[in-house]
Amino acid sequence: MLWLFVLIVLVAGGGLATLYANQRKLQYFPSTAVVVPADWGLPDFSVVTVTTADGVGIDGWYAPAAAGRPTVVLFHGNAGHLGLRADKARVLRDAGFGVLLAGYRGYGGNPGQPDEPGLMADARAQLDFLVEQGVSGQRVVLYGESLGTGVAVRMATERRVGGLVLEAPYTSMTDVAAAHYPFLPVRLLLRDRYDSLSRIDRIAAPLLVVVAQRDAVVPAALSDTLFRAAPEPKYIVRLPGAGHNDMMEHGLAEVVVDFVATLARPAGRAEPVVIEQERTRGTAIIPRP
């Protein structure tokens, strides 16, 4: 029977080696289609190209803010391309905010292959672009969506910003993978960990966390854990009927716009506060009297 045991070990070992070598193909789901803002109902957005520290040219979509309004930088989730975030961009733009839909390598016609160091380099280059436009510091709100929450948290520890919005955030990608694949040693194998939990205590900006209570991709418990570890001021909104991909249908846009608008108020005005309400959206942000 020793030969059977050895065979099982060899097969299992070979499978894990293959999984380790190909894990990024299993972790990221980019669309390589080349897209432009006008085709997605964003004619007032321009394609802006930045060059990262490692020499990769990355396209993002940008619309400047109205006078005195903040600029929201959206780091999108795992699948698709920038066009699939056009609904969020339009809502933010209609509120008068500037919007930068940050592109990633390997997505939407951008060169390269996505990985954690690369996405961080892409984010830094696009934030540097805003600095060149005279937009930085308190005039910038970082908005991370799912995978992009790991990017947003990291940037919020490296840059001084006016606010941070995290939609369906996780503690780390290893925790998400372990929740879905408890039979695999993902904590040993995973390269791109996006460990937000180890960084969240270093952010120095007001934080909004929005949780989909029926999220089948990022367990809501991970979002709650990350929120508890964050410093004040922080606010959480739970959307009871929402899943990972339909949060816009359950009030996400209104919550985010209210939060960003509150941050943009002149110093000395009311700060946001979260209250419980008896309605399907769960909690809401309102100004303190």
What is the tens place of the pLDDT at every residue in 117-161? 999 999 999 999 999 999 999 999 999 999 999 999 999 999 999
pLDDT for 192 beyond 60 = yes
Spatial contact of 257 and 99, defined as CB atoms under 8 Å apart: no
H helices then E strands: how many in the chain?
9, 12
* 65 torsion bin: left (phi>0), alpha (psi -120 to 50), beta (else): beta
Residue 67 — very low, low, confident or very high, per pLDDT cuts 50/70/90? confident
Domains of the chain: 31-287 (3.40.50.1820)
Q: What's the CA gap between 21 and 6, in Å, rounded? A: 22
| Kind of pairing between the strands at 163-167 and 46-51 | unpaired
**pLDDT for res 186:** 80
pLDDT for 23 beyond 90 = no
What is the tens place of the pLDDT at every residue in 195-209? 999 999 999 999 999
* DSSP state letter for 135: -
Which residues 6+ apart lie within 8 Å of 248 measured at CB? 87, 88
E strand residue ranges, 105-185 = 140-145, 163-167
Report which residue type is found at 178. Answer: A
Spatial contact of 51 and 125, defined as CB atoms under 8 Å apart: yes
What is the tens place of the pLDDT at every residue in 194-250? 999 999 999 999 999 999 999 999 999 999 999 999 999 999 999 999 999 999 999
Q: What's the CA gap between 232 and 254, in Å, rounded? A: 22
pTM above 0.95, yes or no: no
**pLDDT for res 184:** 83
- Which tokens sit at 268? 């000395």
Q: What's the CA gap between 55 and 228, in Å, rounded? A: 38
Q: What's the CA gap between 227 and 218, in Å, rounded? A: 14
